[in-house]
Chains A and B, each alone.
Chain A
Amino acid sequence: SSELTQDPAVSVALGQTVRITCQGDSLRSYYASWYQQKPGQAPVLVIYGKNNRPSGIPDRFSGSSSGNTASLTITGAQAEDEADYYCNSRDSSGNPLFGGGTKLTVL
């Protein structure tokens, strides 16, 4: 199906590790990219490809993929990581498709 499914909300204790997942058939042949969006701001790329971080993104952010599931892992979550996170892949027509987003709360 042409959908990317994310958990609506996830929470993590400060300094702990959290995994945000994205499920969809297209992920079997297309690596997800991940975007962080804080309130009132534009999305920011945090992970792309197999596990690539743009310049300026902390190394506590990492990506992985298995079967139809892509994951964004934050190892040692910080208060500033509290944000919405979106995965992106392709739909059955080859056009970009975003997941519904996951709201990450850092406790």
Chain B
Amino acid sequence: EVQLVESGGGLVQPGGSLKLSCAASGFTFSGSAMHWVRQASGKGLEWVGRIRSKANSYATAYAASVKGRFTISRDDSKNTAYLQMNSLKTEDTAVYYCTRSLGGYCSGGSCYSWFDPWGQGTLVTVSS
């Protein structure tokens, strides 16, 4: 079964740090790009960032809202991706999901990719 399991969420004070983990199973993790997506309570989905595979130089990209504060890494030997969050703000409070991206295909002049599967999410609360 293809599965992602996040862990590491919790309560942290503003300005603090937290590291989330995403353990993968059931697919070739080392060849997959992994993303983090968050969702504040009652709000929509917000892409946080991604890390590509070794074949793509472990390239990372981040949303403007977290760039310079968050770092995504991975350990292919452990089939795990990480999200290191520093200088946390109250507005970072959200459920954080990890997900795998697939595709990157082009057909008929249009390109496409998709996210599947998604983990169950882990709640991060930034509050004093």
Contact = CB atoms under 8 A, between A and B. Distances in A.
A31 B111 CA distance: 6
Contacts, number: 72
B114 A48 contact: yes
Contact of B61 (A44, A95, A99): A95
Contact of A86 (B35, B44, B63): B44
A88 B61 CA distance: 17
Interface residues of A, number: 24
Interface in A11-54: 29-31, 33, 35, 37, 42-45, 48-50, 54
B97 A98 contact: no
Contacts of B111: 29-31
B103 A49 contact: yes
Interface of B is mostly: strand
Contacts of A30: 110-112
Instruction: Say which size band chain B's interface belongs to.
Output: 20 to 34
Interface in A86-102: 86, 88, 95-101
B46 A49 contact: no
Interface of A: 29-31, 33, 35, 37, 42-45, 48-50, 54, 65, 86, 88, 95-101
Interface of B: 35, 37, 44-47, 50, 61, 63, 97, 99, 101, 103, 105, 107-121
21 contacts: A29-B109, A31-B111, A31-B112, A33-B114, A35-B45, A35-B115, A42-B97, A42-B120, A43-B37, A43-B115, A45-B114, A45-B117, A48-B116, A86-B45, A88-B45, A95-B63, A98-B37, A98-B44, A98-B45, A98-B46, A101-B45
